[in-house]
Amino acid sequence: MKEIQAPSSKDEIKKSLQSVYADLSGKLHHLPLDHFNLRVGGKWSIAEHLQHLILSSKPIASALKVSKFKLLALGINVKTPKSYDALYQVYMEVLKGGQTAPSSFTPREKDIANKQVLIENWDMIGEKLVSRLDDWGETQLNRFQLPHPAIGKLSMREMMYFTIFHTQHHHKAIENILFLNDIAKAPKV
């Protein structure tokens, strides 16, 4: 997994989004189906992690195309947005507190049946996020906000930061599944 430098500007956010989406997609394209659906220790499979990422990214991509006038109904952010690193620390604290994904972002069995469709959906969401950012100015990224189910209201910039490190968080979980599977298959000495 590629390490991402903490983005700040819209262009840096776009490059980071492209990188994390492409990096995960590249890893998933080459996985055999039995690895894709593998569950280790009662945790989510790789397919379930991917579906969760799709479910959590889709509303953000949709919000980026909604008219800014309609987004006013969610209020205007008047705070200085947190930096990427500061928001990441908030997210880690929330996770340490035991926060789990709400049911609307929890994968369902019927949604993870087709590996190719999942990967295509992932790629499409990534492309939408990046291309729809073209219609946003730096100030707009700071002023418009969306609700996050665990963190509260985030500026659109902060939501982009979240999308980047949330993807990396699940990418690491996927790598752990693959690592633990390799250990389980290793010959016993």
Q: For residue 86, tell me if it sits in a domain.
A: yes
Q: For residue 74, tell me if it sits in a domain.
A: yes
Report the half-sphere exposure of 51 (CA within 13 A, side-chain side). Answer: 22
Q: For residue 33, tell me if it sits in a domain.
A: no
CA–CA–CA angle 3, 79, 90 (5° rounding): 40
**For position 175, what pLDDT does the model report?**
92
Q: For residue 49, tell me if it sits in a domain.
A: yes
Q: Are 166 and 53 in contact (CB under 8 A)?
A: yes
As a whole number, the mean pLDDT across the chain is 91
The pTM for the full model equals 0.91
Q: Are 46 and 53 in contact (CB under 8 A)?
A: no
Largest Cα–Cα distance of the chain, in whole Å? 65
**For position 87, what pLDDT does the model report?**
97
Q: For residue 89, tell me if it sits in a domain.
A: yes
Quote the CA–CA distance of 168 and 17 in Å, as a whole number. Answer: 10
Q: Are 79 and 143 in contact (CB under 8 A)?
A: no
For the record, the structure tokens of 56 come out as 């959590």
Q: For residue 12, tell me if it sits in a domain.
A: no
Q: Are 58 and 125 in contact (CB under 8 A)?
A: yes
Total tally of structural domains belonging to the chain: 1
27 contacts: CB under 8 Å, gap ≥ 6:
1, 171, 174, 175
pLDDT tens, position by position, 75-103: 999 999 999 999 999 999 999 998 888 88
**For position 185, what pLDDT does the model report?**
60
Q: What is the dihedral of CA 104, 108, 111, 112, to 10 degrees?
A: 130
Q: Can you tell me the mean pLDDT for 28-51?
A: 88
For the record, the structure tokens of 27 come out as 């890893």
117 contacts: CB under 8 Å, gap ≥ 6:
none
DSSP state of 144: B
Quote the CA–CA distance of 154 and 79 in Å, as a whole number. Answer: 10
Q: For residue 83, tell me if it sits in a domain.
A: yes
Q: Which domain holds residue 131?
A: 43-183
Q: For residue 22, tell me if it sits in a domain.
A: no
Least confident of 39-53, 68-82, 143-157, 172-186: 172-186
Q: Can you tell me the mean pLDDT for 53-67?
A: 96
The neighbouring-strand residues paired with 147 are: 153
